Structure 1
Amino acid sequence: MMQQYLSPSTYPVIMRISHWIRAGLIIGLIALGWWMTSLPDGNSIKFERLFPLHKSFGMLVLFFSIFQLFVRYYSILPESPENLALWEKRLSNLVQRAMIALTLIVPIMGYVMSSTYLQSDGVPFFIFDIPEILPKNENAFVLFNLLHKISAYTLMVLVILHICGVIKHRLFDRTKENDVLSRML
């Protein structure tokens, strides 16, 4: 006799914790990236403090994202709420997959951008440097800088869309079963 499989109502604790840490890091990195790039190049704090801080936390997001992929792969995850419309389920799935991919792509583009930068001597990760993997190359730097920027803005738009979806389900849907936020708390 087969035992019926029941989907959990929440994500595993380790996924919930890493989700919120990563969310805070990503929002902070977007804000920091915006601020530091708006500062004039003559401002010493820009290159001496802010860029190394941005790079360190960006690498931390990459490590958290890799960790969360492994946890996600080995975990039993909650199903989408049954009351969601098909388009909502598809859009949610697409946005989540794209955000997962971009939490890997954005820091990797930042890492290779920093590696190819002519004046860089390592990619800082708090108290030590991560070795650079690509040779210095101005053209590659320009390309990776553009890719980092495009992917970061794309991630920002998807984060906003994700938050709007959560708010919609939390505050405006008529059924409590559609409240997806409770699955991540």
Structure 2
Amino acid sequence: MWRNTQVGWGVISIALHWLSASTIVGLFALGWWMTGLGYYDTWYNLGPWVHRSVGIVLFMATLARLVWRLTQPTPQGHGSRLEVLMAHLGHITLYVLLLFVMTTGYLISTADGGGISVFGWFEVPALVHGLPQQALIAGDLHWYSAWALMLLAVGHSLAALKHHLIDRHDTLLRMLKPTSR
């Protein structure tokens, strides 16, 4: 039940999937909302602090998720060979984009040489800083790659619904209910 099998996902994979998905959507919404805040707004400093803190926690969870994913079996995909290949490539692209969004966010936040305080619990040091126009370039890359991630996530969701509603596969159900076989 906790581990993946050839026929379904385990509890850990399912939990990491849905926690990541909801956190990514929340971070995107918060990031978009923050861009319109005025200097005297209460959330002007608090919003970015929360965004950075949650982003670092998500980064750590994503690394753990990747390790878990690489050490667990992957349930067999449904559909034609092309659909299975596209799903595989789509998942890889989701992970790459997610890591890229988080890396560019880190580069924005550490451009001045200061670390990132994560909810006041610990600080992530600025390992890369002082590059020419680091915050500006990383900011543009962060914005556009976050949009690309959201668009791909929508496509991912639509594909899951297509498998469920049209093809009548258990693809979506496997991500909702852990396997015990």
Normalised by the length of structure 2, the TM-score is 0.87
Partner of 1:99: 94
Which residue number corresponds to residue 79 of structure 1? 76
- Is 2:170 the counterpart of 1:179? yes
Q: Which has the higher helix share?
A: 1
Determine if the alignment matches structure 1 residue 123 to structure 2 residue 116. yes
2:151 aligned with 1:160: no
Alpha-carbon distance in structure 1 between the residues aligned to 2:42 and 2:12: 39
Q: Which has the larger radius of gyration?
A: 1
Residue equivalent to 2:135: 141
The one-character-per-residue Cα deviations of 1:152-184 (angstroms, maximum 9, x if unpaired) are: 1111111000011111111122xx3x2311121
Say which of 18, 24, 30 aligns to 2:16.
18
Higher relative contact order (CA 8 A, sep 6+): 2
Aligned residues: 171
Runs ≥4 residues deviating over 3 A: none
Alpha-carbon distance in 1 for matches of 2:75, 2:103? 29
What is the aligned-residue RMSD (CA, Å)? 1.7
The 5 A counterparts of 1:48-67 are 48-67=45-64
Q: What's the offset of the Cα at 1:9? A: 1.7
Alignment partner of 1:28 out of 15, 26, 29: 26
How far apart are the structure 2 equivalents of 1:79 and 1:123?
40
Give the Cα separation in 1 of the matches to 2:13 and 2:159: 19
